[in-house]
Amino acid sequence: MSHLPVSKTAAAVQPFHVMKILGEAKALEAAGQDIIHLEIGEPDFPSLPCVHEAVNQAMQAGLTHYTPTLGLPALRQKLAEFYGQFYHAQVPMERIMLTPGSSSGLQLLLTAILNPGDKVMLTDPSYPCNRQFVNLLHGQVISVPVDASSQYQLNSDLLQAHWQEGIKVVMVASPANPTGTVIEQTELVKMAQFLAKQNAYLLVDEIYQGLVYQRPAESILAHPNLPDNVLVINSFSKFFGMTGWRLGWLVAPLALMPILDRLGQNLFLAAPTLSQYGALRVLEPDALAQLEERRQAFEMRRNALLNAMQQAGWQVSVQPQGAFYVYWDVSNLTDNAEQLALDILHHAKVAVTPGKDFGEFKAKHHIRLAYTTSPERLTEAVKRITDYLATR
C-alpha cells in the first residue's frame, strides 16, 4: 500500500505545537546550552517517597491484578472522605470512579453523554485536548472567545449570550490551563442551574484543585443545592504530583455510574492498580502536609515570576490565582507569538508555550509561562528574555 489508511477523525487530531519548541530545546541542550524550561505543564517535583514505599509494598504483596472497573473500593471511600474533610462536600463513594488520568475521565464522560452532532461549549483559550475529544466523538465544538475582561473564563452571562440549541454540555476548568484563573463558585452554580433548565450538563475540570494561592481551595460539589447535571473530573497529576502514575477520578450522578462502569470495562478495564495503592497513601495526612509545602513553593514561584514580569514592564492582564501558569499578553511585542516563542528559545534560551496550543482567539498575542521551576530560575528567565527583547 502506498500509504496506510487512517480514520478521518484521527487524521484531523491536532498535535501539541509546543512539541516543536520542546524538540528544539532538547537539541540545544544536547549541544551544551542551558535552557530554562517554562513550557512544561507538570510539577518538577517527583512523586512523594511515601508513595513509592506504599507501591513497593503493594508489589511485594502481589497486588498486581486488575481492580474493579470503578476502582479500589478503599480508594473510592477515601476520596469520599477527602471531599468531606477538605471541601465540606458530601460525595458518596458510589459516585466516584477512578480513571487512567483525568484524560480518560474526560473521554469517558463525553462518550457517555454525546451523540454525533451534539454541541459542546468551551472557551477559547482552553485545554486543547477537550476539542479533540469532542471531534473524535463527532460532536461540534462551540467556542466562546474569552479574554482578560472575563478573566479568560466563562461566566453565566457569557454562557447565556452564546447559548444555542443542541448544546449538551459546557466544559469549564477552574483553575484553568493556560491562564491559572478561577471561576467563582456562585458563578459556577448559576451556570449549572441555567444548564439544568436546558437539560444540559456542566462538566467542571477541577484538576488544579488544591493549587490555589491567597484563596481557599474549593469544589463545586460542596454547594448544597447543586442540580444533578454537574460532572467533575480530577486527577492525582497536579496537586498530588503524580503525573506519570496516570491516575485520575470522576464524580458523576448516580444514574450515570452503570453506563460509566460499562464503558470503562470496554475501554480500559480499570485504572492502573499500583497507582491506586500509591494514591491511597498520598491521601494520608502526613503526605498531604508535604503537598501543602509544595503548594507554598508554587506560591513563592508565582510571586517571584509575577514580580519579575512586573518589574520588567511586561503585560500581565490578569493575576493568575491557581495552577502554575501565567498567560502573558505579548500583543505589544508581536503579532506572531509562535515566532516570538522560537526567537526566545534560540536567543534567550528559555522555552515557553505559544498561545496557539490553546485555541485561536488572540492566540498570536499570548504565551504561556509555567512556573514549574525555582524562583531563581524564573527570575533568570525573565532577565534573559528582557535582555533579548532589548536587542530586537
Ligand X SMILES: Cc1ncc(COP(=O)(O)O)c(C=O)c1O
Binding residues for ligand X, rule: CB under 6 A, are: 41, 101-103, 127, 173, 177, 205, 207, 235, 237, 243, 248
* Shortest reach from residue 64's CB to ligand X, in Å: 22
Residue 19, classified by CB atoms within 10 Å of its CB into exposed (0-12), middle (13-18) or buried (19+), is exposed
**Which residues, other chains included, contact 243 with Cβ-Cβ below 8 Å and sequence gap of 6+?**
42, 43, 237
* Shortest reach from residue 332's CB to ligand X, in Å: 27
* Closer Cβ to ligand X, 314 or 324, answer by number: 324
The residue at minimum Cβ distance from ligand X is: 101
* Shortest reach from residue 384's CB to ligand X, in Å: 26
Q: Strands, E, within the chain: which ranges?
A: 36-37, 96-99, 119-124, 140-145, 167-173, 201-205, 230-235, 248-251, 325-329, 350-351, 353-354, 366-370
* Closer Cβ to ligand X, 22 or 308, answer by number: 22
End-to-end C-alpha distance for the chain, whole angstroms: 50
* Closer Cβ to ligand X, 141 or 333, answer by number: 141
* Closer Cβ to ligand X, 69 or 102, answer by number: 102
CA nearest to 350, candidates 16, 22, 17:
22
* Closer Cβ to ligand X, 291 or 382, answer by number: 291
Q: Do the beta carbons of residue 230 and residue 192 sit within 8 Å? A: yes
The conformation of residue 268, written as its DSSP 8-state character, comes to T
* Shortest reach from residue 127's CB to ligand X, in Å: 4
The Cα 355–Cα 185 span in angstroms is 27
The Cα 94–Cα 71 span in angstroms is 11
* Closer Cβ to ligand X, 155 or 353, answer by number: 353
* Shortest reach from residue 2's CB to ligand X, in Å: 36
* Shortest reach from residue 140's CB to ligand X, in Å: 21
| All cell numbers assigned to 74 | 478503599
